[in-house]
Amino acid sequence: MAEIRCPMCSQANPEEAEVCAFCSARLRPLLAGGPAEGIPPSEAEPEETDWLSRIRQEAVRGQAEPTPPPPEEGGPDWLSRLRRAEAEEEGPPKGEVPAWVSDAVEPAPPQPAAPAEPEVPDWLARVRERKAAEDVPAEESAPEPEEDWLSRLRVPQEGQVPPREAPPLPEILRPPDEGTPAIKPPPASLPSWLPQPPVEEEAAEESPALPSTPWEPPSRPIAVPFSRGKAAPPPEKPAPAWPSEPETPTPAWPPAPATPASAWPPAGESPSIAVPPSRAGAAPEPPALVEPAGPEPLPHTPALLPEEGLPFVPGEAADFDIDSIKLPEWLSEAKPAAAPPKPQAEEQGVNLAPATLPAWLEAMRPMETFRPVVEIQPEEEQLVEAAGPLAGLRGVLLAEPVVAIPRQRDVGSARLDVTERQYAHAEFLHRMVQEEERELPPAAPGRRRIPLVRWVLSLVLLLGVALPMTAGLPAFALPVLGPPDLNPFIGRINALPVERPALLVIDYEPGYSGELEAVAGPMLDHMISRGLRIATVSTRPSGPPLAERLLVRAGVAVGYQNGRDYLHLGFLPGGPAAVQLFAEDPRQAVPHGYLLPAELTSRSGWESSMLSGVTALSDFGAVILITSGAETARTWIEQASPRLGEVPLLMVLSAGVEPMVRPYYETLNPQVDAILAGLPAAAAYENANGRPGGAQSIWGGFGSGLFVAELALALGAGYGLLTALLARRRA
Amino acid sequence: MRVRASLIWAAVASAVGLIVLLGFFFEIEALRLARQILVDWAVLLAAWALMLGLLNLLGVHWSKVSQQEKGWPYSAVLLLFFLVTLILGLLFGPDSPVILFLFNNVQLPIEASLMALLAVTLTVAGFRVVTRRRDLVSLVFVGVGFLVLLGTGPWVIGSEGVLNTFFRDVRNWLAQVWAAGGARGILLGVALGAIATGLRVLLAADRPYGE
């Protein structure tokens, strides 16, 4: 005896038992495909969902007769892949169908070839009834399975439903129009989360031309995939591909390529979801969101809607007045204000919610959070296109905000990640800017301080220099031993030939006259005492007066006369080039003279008898340079030395220049034969001459001034050390 | 073919430099004459440079006086005596007794006084250095100056003593070894720089005459 085990308490019950004897649970679930006993079909399974019923039916029929495979030829690749995948995976994954359902469903006998009456939702049944009452002629011509669905679209519909009740196809779903570019099958006809069928351009090209008849609104609602409007009633014959039984003889998607109008989707099939019957019967699909095409042709909905009453000429699509174009109905219906009423099925509680999807199918769908939500505003609130070919239209996708208007960057809204160091730098910069902007008050005039140290030192130094020269105190002993360079210099002066004049170059500024006149004085005394004739020249404008001053002071006592004993050649302009030129040709370099005697009427010193035999630099007895500058000394050494020959080059120098000239003197091949530098050497020279001169007259002041300077440095160093020690002790 | 003017100038400068340079190495009469002519031109240009310097000085101080800038009275005095000296020199000549009087009684005392002030300034500066900047460099600076002064000047007592001789030798050692060594280095650097500058001018790498 067969037993039925209760799915709730697992107790065995007789086979004919309807409910469990132990727990009163129903042992025989209500099967799909027929109402329960004693219950009207419409009320037999009010709470069961459609998909469950279909699963039950398909499970029963699937065991009886397998769904014949669809024709392979002519089908697109994606369909082939779907079929292959379908063959591998029949139905939902294991576990998705509850076990009690599988157990409860008995193996059904083989189904006849004729389709059984499908389970039709009540809302669909009512729609069909109403449609049948309204549209009888259309029903008569419905069973045309082999007629192209596009050709049916061309047939003017009678007894049309008012156009506003049927949302026209969106632009992307309209079949290609004649004279207009072929519109590819809209990939949006399938949900984006399902595999998209490949676009077949050939099919689009082969689509027949649309009739050049005035456009009329479709006679019945058009099934659109996942229509947002009211659900269109499905035709009664043939039964819709889905959710009716899968063994509907309508050709499976897609038709053979030989079909003349094999536009996508094919006739007789749902234009929205391309699901093979086998898959439709095996796997639970989303609830009916589409309207099967049925036998009735879909109305033609041109891309651009002409005004009512005007004939639609497809070939003149490009000549349309863009202002006369009606907006698509579906756009108007999409307004929130005029939101379409809920489908009757929903109103009547038909479970079409996505929650009824099995988990494995739900897992294939994209996440809800990533689905774009487009909120369509009412028509009066929508913006009017201002540019482009759609200018003046309302409710179109505006191109300007996308293309022209700069959008705010998403990155800009992100919070800056500022470190403390960067923040500190920014604060510092901010303070700097504020500080720059702040107006500083005028500095208060500081108290005028008397430079006491400067005054005291100056006074002491002045007294130290003046007292020895005026009062003779303090008295400094004259140097007995001169510097080591003095004797060679004196020897050179002694060796100068008397018959040849010596060239005296006066190249110092008047400021150095105090020192250099004192230094050069003993040398001039020595030369005058020997009776040497002297010719002077200078590369400085102030040189000739200095030379006159120097020679007058040195030779006045012995009666030296200008033009006879000495002569001023004057100013030699041109710097180093002039020195070179003078070394090459002295007569041409200095053609005139300075303070020439009256007997030289030609105003040229070279006519003097003193310089009669002098034509070159080497004709002088010696070249003696009195200078206070290292640069001048170097110029004469470099420019004149090559032309001197055996003529000695002597230098009378300031004490500060001596170190710079000494390298030319203390060398294996000296370019300077003797130097006389500094007041001590001059004082020693005077001692050697036996004639006190200017050097000894200022010797006391010179010594006293140096002593004051030494004392100032020593006191300053002592004060600095003392303050440093005190500061360290305080610290 | 259009030749750039800078190339012409560079060629002229290089040629003049080469002629003057070769005149030092080869005793050729034509070369010597050419070098002498070129140097004579250089002397004329230098004299005119001095004249341009005077005119520039006149223009600068004239601008100061005309715009009443700070210190314009000093500029006015300078302009006054500049013009006076120029006029006197043009009238009587540079070697006239008037010009000699001005030189001996104005220019020379003033410049000598300025040089004397330099001695006072250096003394005060040395004192301030050792009292305010007590670092090693300041001490070395002041110490060397102190030793040189001690070895240069006369002493009140013991000028011919051993100690004075010792400091004199120290001064000579500092002046003739350290200072002369530094001077040699400076002179060598100057010589190398002059050679490099001369070669750059000869090769037209340096164009002080403009592009």
Inside any domain, residue A502: yes
Residues A95 and A16 in one domain: no
Cα of A487 vs its chain's centroid, Å: 80
- Grade residue A134 by pLDDT with cuts at 50, 70 and 90: low
Scored b (16 or more CB within 10 A) or e, A61-87 reads bbeeeebeebeeeebbeebeebbeebe
Q: Which residue has the higher pLDDT, A428 or A192?
A: A428
Residues A78 and A186 in one domain: yes
Show the domain range for A728: 454-478+698-731
Least CA distance to A659: which residue of chain B? B180
Q: Crossing angle for the helix pair A699-730 and B136-152, nearest 10 degrees?
A: 160
- In this structure, chain A runs to a length of 731
Q: Is A719 on the interface with B (CB under 8 A)?
A: yes
- Grade residue A181 by pLDDT with cuts at 50, 70 and 90: very low
Chain A contact set for B120 (CB, 8 A): 457-458, 461-462
User: A374-388, A498-512, B74-88: lowest mean pLDDT where?
Assistant: A374-388
From A432's Cα to the closest Cα of chain B, the distance in A is 33
A interface mutation test: which of B39, B128, B136 has the most A CBs within 10 A?
A: B39
Quick one: pLDDT at residue A656?
87
Q: Which residue has the higher pLDDT, A439 or A671?
A: A671
| DSSP β-ladder status, A674-677 and A649-653 | parallel
Record: contact A477-B159, CB cut-off 8 A: yes
Dist CA A595 CA B101 (whole Å): 14
What are phi and psi for residue A566, nearest 5 degrees?
-145, 160
B interface mutation test: which of A457, A538, A539, A548 has the most B CBs within 10 A?
A: A457
Bin A197: left if φ > 0, else alpha if -120 < ψ < 50, else beta: beta
Quick one: pLDDT at residue A493?
95
Using alpha carbons, select from A209, A225, A268, A240 the residue that is nearest to residue A128: A240
Dist CA A20 CA A22 (whole Å): 5
The pLDDT tens digits for A602-614 are 778 888 888 888 9
Inside any domain, residue A421: no
The domain boundary, picked from A297, A322, A347, lies at A322
Q: For residue A368, count other CB atoms closer than 10 A to its CB.
A: 8
Q: Does residue A384 contact residue A392 with C-beta atoms inside 8 Å?
A: yes
Inside any domain, residue A267: yes
Q: Is B41 on the interface with A (CB under 8 A)?
A: no
Dist CA B170 CA B147 (whole Å): 7
Residues 6+ apart with CB under 8 A from B52: none
Quick one: pLDDT at residue A276?
42
Chain A contact set for B32 (CB, 8 A): 584
In the block, tokens 């024709």 appear at A71
Burial of A520 per CB tally in 10 Å (0-12, 13-18, 19+): buried
- Give the mean pLDDT of A78-88: 58
Residues A222 and A73 in one domain: yes
Start-end of H helices in A471-541: 486-494, 513-530
Q: Is B102 on the interface with A (CB under 8 A)?
A: no
Q: Say whether pLDDT at A623 is over 50.
A: yes
Dist CA A421 CA A227 (whole Å): 58
Dist CA A230 CA A341 (whole Å): 7
Q: For residue A415, count other CB atoms closer than 10 A to its CB.
A: 5
Which range of A1-10, A36-45, A337-346, A371-380 scores highest in mean pLDDT? It is A1-10
Bin B210: left if φ > 0, else alpha if -120 < ψ < 50, else beta: left
The pLDDT tens digits for A305-325 are 444 444 444 444 444 455 555
Q: Is B169 on the interface with A (CB under 8 A)?
A: no
Using alpha carbons, select from A297, A276, A338 the residue that is nearest to residue A137: A297
Inside any domain, residue A353: no
The pLDDT tens digits for A242-261 are 444 444 444 444 444 444 43
User: A17-21, A213-217, A392-396: lowest mean pLDDT where?
Assistant: A213-217
Inside any domain, residue A398: no
Q: Which residue has the higher pLDDT, A192 or B187?
A: B187
pTM: 0.54
In the block, tokens 């110029």 appear at A635
Q: Which residue has the higher pLDDT, A128 or A510?
A: A510
Q: Say whether pLDDT at A24 is over 80.
A: yes
Using alpha carbons, select from B49, B39, B185 the residue that is nearest to residue A643: B39
Quick one: pLDDT at residue A475?
79
Q: Say whether pLDDT at A385 is over 50.
A: yes
Q: Is B96 on the interface with A (CB under 8 A)?
A: no
Residues A4 and A39 in one domain: no
Q: Which residue has the higher pLDDT, A360 or A577?
A: A577
Least CA distance to B113: which residue of chain A? A511
Q: Say whether pLDDT at A435 is over 60.
A: yes
Averages of pLDDT over runs of 10 residues in chain B (211 residues) are 77 90 87 88 87 92 93 94 91 89 92 91 90 84 90 78 85 88 90 92 84 66
Burial of A140 per CB tally in 10 Å (0-12, 13-18, 19+): exposed
Record: contact A457-B127, CB cut-off 8 A: yes
Using alpha carbons, select from A411, A315, A36, A333 the residue that is nearest to residue A170: A333
Please state, rounded to an integer, the average pLDDT across all residues of chain A. 69
User: A184-193, A626-635, A710-719: lowest mean pLDDT where?
Assistant: A184-193
User: A116-130, A698-712, B153-167: lowest mean pLDDT where?
Assistant: A116-130
Dist CA A113 CA A116 (whole Å): 9
Quick one: pLDDT at residue A333?
56
Residues A10 and A97 in one domain: no
Q: Is A723 on the interface with B (CB under 8 A)?
A: yes
- Give the mean pLDDT of A102-127: 56
Residues A613 and A535 in one domain: yes
Q: Does residue A491 contact residue A522 with C-beta atoms inside 8 Å?
A: no
Q: Does residue A567 contact residue A605 with C-beta atoms inside 8 Å?
A: yes
User: A398-412, A421-435, A546-560: lowest mean pLDDT where?
Assistant: A398-412
Record: contact A712-B123, CB cut-off 8 A: yes
Record: contact B172-A483, CB cut-off 8 A: yes
- Grade residue A7 by pLDDT with cuts at 50, 70 and 90: confident
From A437's Cα to the closest Cα of chain B, the distance in A is 29
Residues A462 and A580 in one domain: no
Q: What percent of chain A has pLDDT over 70?
A: 51
Q: Does residue A577 contact residue A585 with C-beta atoms inside 8 Å?
A: no
What are phi and psi for residue B199, nearest 5 degrees?
-65, -40
- Grade residue A400 by pLDDT with cuts at 50, 70 and 90: low
Tell me the two tokens of residue A155.
Answer: 């047939």
From A404's Cα to the closest Cα of chain B, the distance in A is 52
Chain B contact set for A717 (CB, 8 A): 130, 139, 142
Q: Does residue A649 contact residue A531 with C-beta atoms inside 8 Å?
A: no
Quick one: pLDDT at residue A686?
92
- Give the mean pLDDT of A629-637: 92
Dist CA A649 CA A671 (whole Å): 7
Burial of A725 per CB tally in 10 Å (0-12, 13-18, 19+): exposed
Cis, peptide link before residue A692, omega less than 30° from 0 = no
Start-end of H helices in A177-240: 201-205
Q: Say whether pLDDT at A502 is over 50.
A: yes
Q: Does residue A590 contact residue A572 with C-beta atoms inside 8 Å?
A: yes
Chain B contact set for A581 (CB, 8 A): 36, 39-40, 43
Q: Is B50 on the interface with A (CB under 8 A)?
A: yes
Tell me the two tokens of residue A249.
Answer: 């003889």
Q: Say whether pLDDT at A36 is over 90.
A: no
Using alpha carbons, select from A31, A117, A61, A118 the residue that is nearest to residue A282: A61
What are phi and psi for residue A454, nearest 5 degrees?
-65, -45
Calculate the CA dihedral of residues A408, A412, A413, A418 and round it to 10 degrees. Answer: -170
Quick one: pLDDT at residue A520?
95
Cα of B153 vs its chain's centroid, Å: 27
Quick one: pLDDT at residue A183?
43
Quick one: pLDDT at residue A437?
81
- Give the mean pLDDT of A381-387: 75
Residues A68 and A159 in one domain: yes
- Grade residue A30 by pLDDT with cuts at 50, 70 and 90: low
Record: contact A663-B152, CB cut-off 8 A: no
Contacts with B, A 629-688, CB within 8 Å: 630, 634, 642, 655, 658-660, 662-663, 666, 678, 680
Q: Which residue has the higher pLDDT, A495 or A82?
A: A495
- Grade residue A538 by pLDDT with cuts at 50, 70 and 90: very high
Inside any domain, residue A417: no
Q: Domain tally for chain A?
A: 4
Contacts with B, A 482-541, CB within 8 Å: 483-484, 509-514
**Helix or strand (DSSP H, E) at A569:** strand A566-571
- Grade residue A351 by pLDDT with cuts at 50, 70 and 90: low
B interface mutation test: which of A706, A708, A719, A722 has the most B CBs within 10 A?
A: A706
Residues A688 and A702 in one domain: no
Which range of A133-147, A338-352, A674-688 scores highest in mean pLDDT? It is A674-688
User: A333-342, A481-490, A718-727, B35-44: lowest mean pLDDT where?
Assistant: A333-342
Q: Say whether pLDDT at A269 is over 50.
A: no
Tell me the two tokens of residue B2.
Answer: 């259009």
Record: contact B123-A595, CB cut-off 8 A: no
Residues A501 and A641 in one domain: yes
Q: Is B129 on the interface with A (CB under 8 A)?
A: yes
Residues A78 and A223 in one domain: yes
Nearest to B120 among A461, A573, A714 (CB): A461
Q: Which residue has the higher pLDDT, A413 or A134?
A: A134
> The CATH number of the domain where A630 resides is what?
3.40.50.720
Quick one: pLDDT at residue A521?
94
Quick one: pLDDT at residue B114?
92
Residues 6+ apart with CB under 8 A from A194: A273, A364
Dist CA A40 CA B112 (whole Å): 139
Nearest to B111 among A511, A589, A706 (CB): A511
Q: For residue A120, count other CB atoms closer than 10 A to its CB.
A: 20
Inside any domain, residue A603: yes
Residues A465 and A585 in one domain: no
Q: Which residue has the higher pLDDT, A30 or B55?
A: B55
Nearest to A574 among B46, B145, B146 (CB): B46
- Give the mean pLDDT of A50-73: 56
- Give the mean pLDDT of A393-400: 72
Start-end of H helices in A200-315: 201-205, 277-282
Inside any domain, residue A277: yes
Taking one residue from A and the other from B, the number of pairs with CB-CB distance under 8 angstroms is 179
Bridge partners, residue A506, by sequence: A626
Cis, peptide link before residue A286, omega less than 30° from 0 = no
The domain boundary, picked from A265, A296, A322, lies at A322
The domain boundary, picked from A298, A322, A346, lies at A322
Q: Is A713 on the interface with B (CB under 8 A)?
A: yes
